[in-house]
Chains A and B, each alone.
Chain A
Amino acid sequence: MDTPFAITLGVGTSRANHTGSWRVERPVYVDRLPPCNNACPAGENIQGWLYEAESGNYEAAWRTLVEENPLPAIMGRVCFHPCETACNRVQVDEAVGINAVERFLGDLAIEKGWRLPASGPDTGKRILVVGAGPAGLSATYHLRRLGHHVRLVDSAERLGGMMRYGIPAYRLPRATLDAEIDRIVAMNVEVVLNHVVHDIEEERVAGNFDAVFLAVGAQLGKRVNIPAGDSSKVIDAVTFLHQVAHDDPPLLGRRVVVYGGGDTAFDAARTARRLGATDAVIVYRRNRERMGASGEEVEQALGEGVSVRWLSTVNRFEGEHIVLEKMRLNDEGFPEPTGEFEELDADALVLALGQDTDLSLLEHANDVTVHDGAVSVLPSMMAGASGIFAGGDAVLADRTATVAVGHGKRAAHGIDDFVMGREPTEKQRHELATFDRLNTWYYADAPRTRRPELERIRRQTNFEEVIGGLSEENALFEARRCLSCGNCFECDNCFGVCPDNAVIKLGAGERYEFDYDFCKGCGICVKECPCGAIEMVPERI
């Protein structure tokens, strides 16, 4: 078109005007550490696998998950999910059901027969892992991926440690446990069962091991001195649960009192109910707010007819009665005796007051320090210069399976550095993706999906799994509740809200980049980014 001068203009001409020169601040894309990842004792990339799960790419999600943790089906059942406690979504509605999705992925992997990643090329290094609980299994898995030979020894006749002998089957079905353990063993692991290690040094030298990972757990139930008549049945919870796991449950009678406030106490009480106890009463010296057990476990136990005597201690066990002393909390929140007593009918008393570790095998390991009954370790989980590493319940930490899995992974990397002669490396962590950086307007209102629970009445009498898995639809929904805190999930907001079309969309999975030729630095993209993955930085003068 021979258009008139000046009054008629051709398209595209304004691109000659680089309005980027107006800018005094520029937006930049950042990645931040999501609180779930930050809180995960196993160091899982939760947001990462949720991202894959959101798309229905469950295998990819599972593969991302098992990069860090080879036991998702187990963790999806027994983990007390600090990730959900940390989840920013709590401040919007409810935390994302991370644990349930994890279990869904874990179960799906078992169902589909997905294999763990292949072992790494052989390094020629030999590692001894003592204890086949979550820490030992996790370490074994990671060490195998790093190409080291692993001998996994355990005193029991089967692998799994406390996961098998401490956690009741209604929380962790044995088929699931076996499936995930078998997958690790299939990575060419030398397994030695029914083998008690008495002297770690001796064992190491004899086996010509380059390093040792000590994951013996805490198998000894703590006893306190409670006056009790001879006929009174008193048993510690670890032993009780162990016997149940061996299909050899002790006879406790109809009225069972469990003393303690941790998860083990609740496991014991719920197990007792399933063994036929009509009354299963937990006696705990503090109140509910200060209880160690997870809220979910408490809820489920109460739902099953377990009752709790708060602010009480067991004073003595006399025949068919237990005498309780009432307590009150002082100003610091510690329980103090009140001098008031009451009686409780009981056929048996189960003590769930904590566990100790048997560390006698360290007697000749001179460079290993033991403090308060736990092995002292460096961040790399190294306990001694000679190549002894430790983790799980044997070291000072929260005694949960998930912590143990994390220890196992960390120890594996520590051992790898050690045997390969590298300095231990500290991973650089991103800044935390805090709630205040989010723009929660954009997230759909979506209350969390509850996992189906077995009918309460059935649950009291058998060891079927209490908590069911998510359907695929619910798992997908739950995964999609993830806010993706601190990391771009390609919602296109920045691309859409820029008044200057200065955001370039790179395509699926490629995210975006700014076109600084035209970005005027208004900052709308930062403000409207749902997940806080953009920040403004001053232009350099």
Chain B
Amino acid sequence: MTRQPVHFYQVGSFAVGNRLLSSDDRTVQSQRERTNSIDSGHRACQGCGEALGARYALDAAMRATNGHVVAVNATGCLEVFSTPYPETSWRIPWLHSLFGNAPAVATGVAAALRVKGKSDVRVVAQAGDGGTVDIGFGALSGMFERNDDVLFICYDNEGYMNTGVQRSAATPPAARTATTDAVGPEPGNVFGTGKDLPRIAMAHDIPYVATATVADLHDLERKVERAMEIRGARYLHVLVPCPLGWGSASNDTIHIARLAKESGLFPVFEAENGTVTSVSTIRRRVPVEQYLSLQRRYGHLFGKSPRPDIVARIQAIADNNIARYGLVDDATESMEVNT
């Protein structure tokens, strides 16, 4: 499925809304009657990317299915800030069991719906990166392998933020966390570690794998919609900046997510049946410094004793992503910056 960007208006496809488009062509988030799957009053930090990502994804799923969605949630920030007794923020049927079992719980929900003749009700499972790439990985791989009818969404904020910012297998190199201190010759998280879950998901040959960020709502919603058109195991990996864990300003959440994509550090693409079918090319390429320098978790790379050598290694990762996925097309190539 190729995307037809809306060029014909001052904000084109980039802003949330577009008062001149027909209602069907607008984002779910621009609609007053959107579900608000996760409602006001939740206890996420100011500027929480995960709260935003969850609402984006689930509201889109709700529209795509005409409100036939149930959600399963792994333990984590999203779960804790949304459902502290006696208040829940969820406006849709929602089930939380454990940290590492959301994929399997979702399998059970899907199986029950099927056996009950309610296959029109669709299952979305969601977890943070810890619940996805680490503790939930076995269950997730099992769910993928069985091709259960579940859309699994990972809200990736690159660490265990709920427990106080510890390293996960999604923490990027050089990032400081509570368990990868910014000390020693290789400060922060070690290079050469970590898991690339979207690619692992693709290796399962499941029908749909995609990545997205909270900075491109149209892209995210379209991917959720695409995912809901397909039966079987589907995986959506959404980058959600965490002001607390990343040491970024609360108003920078979307900006930073955008820079992650525009620098090439977070490739945005989709794949069907194990093959990449589309990539979101970089529109305004930026050097990784622009992304890194807004985050205190990379503070040790700048400032009084800067580490351009490490920044260069991170740039190399971005360049490698760009080459691997073809993130720069000819038009943007000319705007390429010297790095």
Contact = CB atoms under 8 A, between A and B. Distances in A.
Asked if chains A and B come from one complex, the reply is: yes
Nearest to A526: B251
Interface in A5-44: 6-7, 9-19, 22
Interface in B1-55: 6-20, 26-27, 29-30, 32, 36, 38-44, 46-49, 51-52, 55
A14 B41 contact: yes
Interface in A429-450: 441-446
Contacts of B12: 443-446
Contact of B52 (A18, A497, A515, A527): A497
B244 to A, nearest CB: 12
A13 B87 contact: yes
Given A14-B40, A500-B51, A442 B88 contact: no
B217 interface: yes
Interface in A360-380: none
A18 B255 contact: no
Given A17-B41, A443-B14, A481-B10, A22 B85 contact: no
B91 A12 contact: yes
Contact of B48 (A16, A492, A493, A499): A499
B48 A9 contact: no
Contacts of B99: none
A17 B51 contact: no
A370 to B, nearest CB: 47
A500 to B, nearest CB: 6
Contacts of A10: 88
B82 A14 contact: yes
B250 A444 contact: no
Contacts, number: 170
B321 interface: no
Contacts of B55: 499, 501
A17 B43 contact: yes
Contacts of B49: 499
A480 B251 contact: no
Interface of A is mostly: loop
B83 interface: yes
A484 interface: yes
Contacts of B32: 505, 507
Interface string A46-58: 0000000011000
A144 to B, nearest CB: 35
Contacts of B46: 22, 520-523
B30 A518 contact: no
A477 B10 CA distance: 8
A515 B40 contact: yes
B278 to A, nearest CB: 19
Contacts of A517: 40
Given A443-B11, A499-B48, A500-B51, A522 B251 contact: yes
Contacts of B90: 11
Contact of B14 (A14, A444, A481): A444
Interface of B is mostly: loop
B134 interface: no
Contact of B16 (A497, A508, A522): A497
Contacts of B18: 491-492
Interface residues of A, number: 55
Contact of B10 (A6, A480, A497, A527): A480
Contacts of A495: 16-17, 29-30
Nearest to B7: A444
Contacts of B13: 444
A489 B15 CA distance: 11
A325 interface: no
Contact of B29 (A17, A54, A443, A492): A492
A186 interface: no
Interface in B77-97: 82-83, 85-91
Contacts of B19: 55, 489-492, 508
Nearest to B252: A527
B11 A530 contact: yes
Contact of B86 (A13, A489, A502): A13
Contact of B43 (A19, A443, A527): A19
Contact of B15 (A54, A481, A493, A523): A493
B258 interface: yes
A477 B251 contact: no
B253 A522 contact: yes
B17 to A, nearest CB: 3
A489 B14 CA distance: 14
Nearest to A22: B46
B87 A480 contact: no
Contacts of B17: 490-493, 495-496
B51 A480 contact: no
A483 interface: yes
- B49, B254, B283: which has the most chain A beta carbons within 10 Å? B254
Contacts of B48: 499, 522
A282 interface: no
Interface in A180-224: none
Contact of B88 (A11, A502, A522): A11
B254 A528 contact: yes
A454 interface: no
Contacts of B91: 11-12
A524 interface: yes
Given A10-B88, A499-B52, A491 B40 contact: no
A482 interface: yes
A18 B42 CA distance: 9
A491 B47 contact: no
A520 B47 CA distance: 8
A496 B27 contact: yes
A55 B20 CA distance: 6
B294 to A, nearest CB: 12
A9 B88 contact: yes
Interface string A76-114: 000000000000000000000000000000000000000
Given A481-B10, A492-B29, A500 B42 contact: yes
Contacts of B254: 497, 524, 527-528
A495 B15 CA distance: 11
Contacts of A500: 40, 42, 44, 51
Interface string B255-284: 100100000000000000000000000011
A7 B8 CA distance: 49
Contacts of A22: 46
A416 B258 CA distance: 54
A54 B10 contact: yes
Contacts of A492: 15-19, 26-27, 29-30
Nearest to B15: A491
Contacts of B44: 499-500
B10 A522 contact: no
A441 B51 CA distance: 23
A436 to B, nearest CB: 15
A18 B40 CA distance: 8
A491 B11 contact: yes
8 contacts: A9-B87, A12-B91, A13-B88, A14-B82, A492-B17, A496-B30, A499-B44, A530-B15
Given A495-B17, A501-B55, 8 more contacts: A15-B41, A19-B43, A54-B9, A444-B11, A499-B47, A499-B49, A517-B40, A530-B15
Interface of A: 6-7, 9-19, 22, 54-55, 441-446, 477, 480-484, 489-493, 495-497, 499-502, 505, 507-508, 515, 517-518, 520-524, 526-528, 530
